[in-house]
Amino acid sequence: MPDHKLCLEALSALTGCNVESTTGSFQLTPQDLVNIVALREFYKQEGLKQLDYQPDNPSLGTLSLQDLDETDMYSSPPALTGGAEASPKTTVKINPDEFFHSQYNYDFTKIKDGDKKFLRGNEQYVRPCGWNRVALRVTNKYGDGDHWLGTGNDAWPVSYQGYNMDGSPGIILARDGNPDDEPNFLEASAAALVNEKTRGNGVYSTPEIKMAEKYCKTFKSKVDGKMYKVLLQNRINPERREKCQRENVWVVYIPEGTNNIQTRAIVQESIRPYGLLLKQE
């Protein structure tokens, strides 16, 4: 497993919080983590500047979304710089023994699957080759059991969460090319935006690790001075996701008028995390 301090830096980079270690009670759970990462872009689309976790998790309080507007993706997480000028970001604590599940760590950094095929929930699982997975402790945490985390037919498929995957046409349309190279791009964009389930009002993820990497968070570690990329590896409820025009982009639609508590309940029923992925640049 990567150094615990490096994992804390990765969590800080993903959440925009100052994540610290504790041996006592902890505030941040793996589901809180995916909620923050998944909902950050959603609330940004809604024009909000902060994510209020009360009353369902009052220990987290209000989390700022302002860091999304920063363009420097290569600086050390501001909350970790310390000193009188440190960013006033929310500080949350995790107990590593309760947050991580080292039994299921897996180092994919030197693995190449080639033509090998893997399935989760009868759907192709593109393994995160080139990445190091730090497993999150999520077994026995949900009322409907652990079938979602398995390998059988009733398991949920795997999806990857980038730092800034949103509902912009450049992400959800069928081609990766420059809009200027596609004469019908604006027409296709307009069509996408009038479709209520793919117009940006939801949470986006992808089963393609290479696509998620394009939207990952990058940070410089204070532990070893190296640059790292970080992503979340999740399972997604096949009954709650919609497929966009791009086959490798999935959205969990959040109906208009849904309040904050209902929104987080939808995410918990739809997207559950099980791995923190790290990749050295």
Q: Which tens digits make up the pLDDT trace of 160-212?
A: 997 777 666 666 665 544 445 444 444 444 444 445 554 547 888 999 999 99
pLDDT attached to residue 113: 96
Gap between the Cα atoms of 233 and 205, Å rounded: 10
Q: Sort 139 into a burial class: Cβ within 10 Å, 0-12 / 13-18 / 19+.
A: middle
Would you say the C-alpha torsion 261, 14, 74, 87 has a positive or negative sign? positive
CA distances from 276 to 74, 185, 187, 265 (A): 19, 35, 38, 22
* pLDDT tens-digit map of 40-71: 777 766 665 566 655 455 556 666 555 533 43
C-alpha to C-alpha distance for 52 and 42, rounded to whole angstroms: 13
Distance CA(219)–CA(215), nearest Å, equals: 13
**Mean pLDDT value across residues 254-271:** 87
Contact 227, 281 (CB under 8 A): yes
pLDDT tens-digit map of 204-220: 899 999 999 988 999 99
What value does the mean pLDDT take over residues 150-161? Answer: 94
Beta strand extents in the chain (DSSP E only)? 18-21, 50-52, 62-64, 91-94, 106-107, 119-120, 123-124, 132-135, 158-161, 202-205, 217-220, 227-236, 241-243, 250-253, 271-280
pLDDT digits (tens, 9 = 90+) for 66-93: 553 343 323 333 333 333 333 457 788 9
Please give the full DSSP string across 182-237, using - where no structure is assigned: -TTHHHHHHHHHHSTTSSS-EEEEBS-HHHHHHT-EEEE-TTTS-EEEEEEEEEE-
pTM: 0.81
